[in-house]
Structure 1
């Protein structure tokens, strides 16, 4: 018991509330506390006008009322809770009406329609085979608006538990249709002789969603369709043996010697052509005396570059050749420019 229940009546030095006399000059403790909380403006709401009302309902939160009465605020709160509970209980789940299903074959006008309802699904399975289309039409019913946010036809294999869903095309009036060709069924469901069809309806708001079994489908086997193998999930796979390409081998020695001799045989031809064209070897001494370092480094860099290429052909790799080729090329560029400047100076003087 709280402090008000421990002392149900307290002496009242103040006048009665709202013109109501207290019992033997006393006020109920709850009313006394309410009087103490009132603002100086003396404004009274609807609950202060009637501080206690007869209570036909049991106590709130396990606390007994005073003399079988409940404060009017608590009574109004209990009344609001009862009204809300009644409204939620009256909210009906999503449903449908005027439902029909038919199977249309290729090049034909279709078979007779069969009707069903949420409480009376089709007793006989619907035959569905290749080159056919299943047509479903119905009208959804619920509170306004009657167009659900989600409307699906779910097909389930009762043996494996695999299922797939197809969305219905709905309108604001609640009319919903679905045309399902046989070719749209997943291959994993075609191996089953029958499927269970259920309708799923749901939307925003307080109306509960619904899932209703409406009929069964008897599938006709497609003889031209290939058998679907069961996929391996988290299974053991055969070991993979990597086969790397063998290392590159050098050509036969005979071929290498032949082409080496062919290259060396061109040197006498080159020297003979240089002599016939007026080559003068007598200026070698003058060139070496004028710029000995430039001519020596230039000629040495040419020989070194040929050596780098020879080693790359024999055993070196590309990343071993590139740094050396860069250094030798830089030396040849600098020394070659100095050597050519010296040759140009001699030709300006008329020496050839």
Structure 2
């Protein structure tokens, strides 16, 4: 035997005496000393391949970025004005020419305008709460009536133009 199992402790000073005892409760036992046994030290237990992952890891020290610096209020106001300027120009020009939209509230065009408004509400809802996948799903569902309402609106506008000629 090359090395004894780990469960058998090694002999440190005196050897182990191996004795054969044969007997019963009626007769006196027969004792035969067979030999002295020296048990060498056993192999160290093999290291489990995952043992390294079961030790405590070093503590992770988090470092947080400093707070983001906001630009001065004047710069924010200037860029806000730059974004809103085209809308102001558009509304000013519309007020100057006073566009007529007599067909906007006709029964064949109102469904199309309503579905376009629903798309705008959906985009606002996305900005507030929804996830992109939800917007794509709702947008795909909303696109079906929008296509049919848009086709109907274009047909009615075409018919009105043909009647005017």
Larger Rg: 1
- Pick the structure with more strand per residue: 1
- Point out which structure has higher relative CO (alpha carbons under 8 A, 6+ apart): 2
Q: TM-score range by the shorter chain?
A: 0.3 to 0.5
